[in-house]
Structure 1
Amino acid sequence: MNICVFLSAADLDARYTEPAREFAELIGKGGHTLVWGGSDVGLMKVMADGVQDNGGRLVGISVEFLAAKARKNADEMVIAADLAERKAQLLARSDAIVVMVGGTGTLDEATEILELKKHGMHAKPVVLLNTAGFYDGLKQQFARMEAEGFLPLPLADLVLFAEDGASALAYIEGAL
């Protein structure tokens, strides 16, 4: 299975890197392919190393202005012209999406994927991996959107908030 993971390229502390390593190990040992932003830095590198070290494949979708940071030994590397093309390729190349910790770029990717799912543009399982409670505020906001009628479908049909990588992977495998 091709699992797209949206996440930060920043260097982060152990409360984020250790759960990422554990999730990467599960992906690799499960024989899955990591489809990710292609960077060989920060948390993206942690995930790529973990997947590759445990027998998984790597498909990177980088972008021209970040091509210098692209992982050299990925099984496949695509260089998109811009961020919009990158997001489209990431979605097209994946069977499921997991959103891990990240900044505005990760949040942009997450909301676009959820908006497309809301409008029936894809039916792929989407998981927000809530490492160390990172997405607690977003989870609360989504619950409010649902309660006040801003979501045309139940939140549970749109996204799963998982507390760990094992739960995220089990959900994905069960949904496909």
Structure 2
Amino acid sequence: MNICVFLSAAELDETYTAPAREFARLIGEGGHSLVWGGSDVGLMKVVADGVQEAGGRLVGISVEFLADKARVGADEMVITKDLAERKALLLARSDAIVIMVGGTGTLDEATEILELKKHGLHTKPVVLLNTAGFYDGLKQQFQRMEKEGFLPLPLTELVFFAEDGVGAMAYLEEARGAA
């Protein structure tokens, strides 16, 4: 399975790096490929290192203005002209999407993926990995959107909130089996 992971390139402490490393190990040991933003810095590096160390394949999709941060030694690296092309290619090259902790770029990617799914433009499973309760506020907002009629389909069909990597991978494996 090609698992696209949206996440931060920031340097973060063990609260976020340890769970990211664990999820990366699950990707690699499961024989899956990581499809990610291609950067070799911060949390992106932690996950890429973990996947590669566990035997997984790395498919990086970077963007011209970040090409100097692209990982050397990925199995495949594509450099796109802009962020829109990058996001489209990340989605096209993946079978499932996992959204880990991140800033505005990660939130932008997450909302676009969910908007496309809401409109039936993809049916890939989407997981928000809620490390250390990072997405509790977003989950509450989505629940309010659903309750007040802003979502045309049930929240459970749009996104799965996982509290840890094991739960995220279990959901993805189950979704793949049901497909």
Which position in structure 2 is the counterpart of 1:65? 65
CA distance in 2, matches of 1:36, 1:137: 25
- Tell whether 2:90 aligns with 1:81: no
CA distance in 1, matches of 2:165, 2:117: 22
Which position in structure 1 is the counterpart of 2:44? 44
Which position in structure 1 is the counterpart of 2:128? 128
* Identical-pair percentage: 83
CA distance in 2, matches of 1:123, 1:69: 31
**Structure 1 residues 141-160: aligned runs within 5 Å:** 141-160=141-160
Give the letter for the 1:29 counterpart: E
CA distance in 2, matches of 1:165, 1:43: 15
The offset of 1:152, in angstroms, is: 0.1
CA distance in 2, matches of 1:48, 1:119: 31
Give the letter for the 2:85 counterpart: E
Secondary structure at the counterpart of residue 122 of structure 1? coil
Secondary structure at the counterpart of residue 62 of structure 1? strand
Give the letter for the 1:75 counterpart: D
The offset of 1:174, in angstroms, is: 0.5
CA distance in 1, matches of 2:132, 2:51: 21
Secondary structure at the counterpart of residue 101 of structure 1? coil
Give the letter for the 1:151 counterpart: L
Q: TM-score normalized by structure 2?
A: 0.98
- Tell whether 2:113 aligns with 1:116: no
Which position in structure 1 is the counterpart of 2:105? 105
The unaligned stretches of length 5 or more in structure 1 are: none
The offset of 1:81, in angstroms, is: 0.4
Which position in structure 1 is the counterpart of 2:171? 171
Q: TM-score normalized by structure 1?
A: 1.00
Which position in structure 2 is the counterpart of 1:7? 7
The unaligned stretches of length 5 or more in structure 2 are: none
CA distance in 2, matches of 1:49, 1:55: 10
CA distance in 2, matches of 1:124, 1:158: 9
Which position in structure 1 is the counterpart of 2:22? 22
- Show structure 1 runs of 4+ deviating over 3 A: none
**CA shift digits 1:32-81 (9 cap, x unpaired):** 00000000000000000000000000000000000000000000000000
Give the letter for the 1:30 counterpart: G
